[in-house]
């Protein structure tokens, strides 16, 4: 479920608001890669702290651990909201990192293909039209047989086939 910006501001403190605000889209796309990586680390740290705090508050409410404050927590709505907001920010940052990684991969693939094409054209020299010279108009060239030599004599293969068929005929003729 989407969380409104107003609810985000209510759940976070000032430093966290700045971090989460830079994880939203117009600002997110303008960040350089190094800044994005740093921001991912900071938001993950804050999310981990919020997760631990929410877990502690749930334990206090159930009576499983001592209260960190003067009294045990009665509700944990605020810590759960903070955790949800920071988790959504982490998800946005991770998907942006993944999007940039995929874009860089595609760009490097295109660059490698261009380099390979340039190397191929350079190796062909000045006649790229002769790339595939096996055409009927200039006469076919024979192509060497790449099939390995058969080690079994054809006579032997025929004999074994006949033996197998006779054996099958005997099995089929048996009374049931």
Q: 67 in a domain, yes or no?
A: yes
DSSP 24: S
Q: 58 in a domain, yes or no?
A: yes
> Which structure tokens are listed for 103?
């874009």
| Cβ atoms < 10 Å from Cβ of 145 | 7
Where do the H-state alpha helices sit in 24-153?
25-30, 33-62, 77-124
pLDDT value at position 60?
81
Q: 69 in a domain, yes or no?
A: yes
Specify the pTM: 0.58
Q: 41 in a domain, yes or no?
A: yes
Give me the number of domains the chain comprises: 1
pLDDT by position in tens, the chain (length 176): 678 778 777 788 888 888 888 888 888 888 999 999 999 999 999 999 989 888 888 888 887 777 776 666 667 777 888 888 999 999 999 999 999 999 999 999 999 999 999 988 888 765 545 556 555 666 667 788 888 888 889 999 999 999 999 999 999 999 87
CA distances from 135 to 128, 138, 148 (A): 15, 6, 26
Q: Which domain holds residue 50?
A: 5-98
CA distances from 42 to 35, 51, 93, 108 (A): 11, 14, 11, 29
Q: 175 in a domain, yes or no?
A: no
Q: 22 in a domain, yes or no?
A: yes
Q: 121 in a domain, yes or no?
A: no
């Amino acid at each position: 479920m989407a969380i409104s910006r107003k609810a985000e501001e209510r759940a976070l403190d000032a430093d966290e608001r700045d971090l989460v605000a830079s994880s939203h889209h117009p600002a997110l796309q303008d960040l350089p890669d190094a800044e994005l990586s740093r921001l991912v680390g900071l938001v993950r740290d804050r999310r981990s702290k919020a997760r631990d705090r929410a877990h502690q508050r749930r334990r206090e409410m159930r009576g499983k651990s001592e209260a960190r404050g003067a009294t045990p927590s009665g509700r944990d709505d605020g810590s759960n909201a903070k955790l949800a907001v920071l988790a959504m920010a982490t998800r946005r940052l991770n998907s942006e990192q993944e999007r940039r990684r995929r874009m860089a991969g595609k760009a490097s693939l295109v660059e490698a293909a261009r380099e390979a094409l340039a190397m191929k054209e350079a190796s062909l020299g000045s006649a790229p039209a002769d790339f595939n010279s096996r055409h009927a108009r200039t006469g076919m060239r024979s192509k060497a047989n790449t099939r390995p030599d058969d080690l079994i004599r054809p006579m032997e293969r025929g004999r074994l086939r006949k033996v197998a068929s006779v054996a099958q005929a005997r099995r089929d003729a048996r009374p049931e």
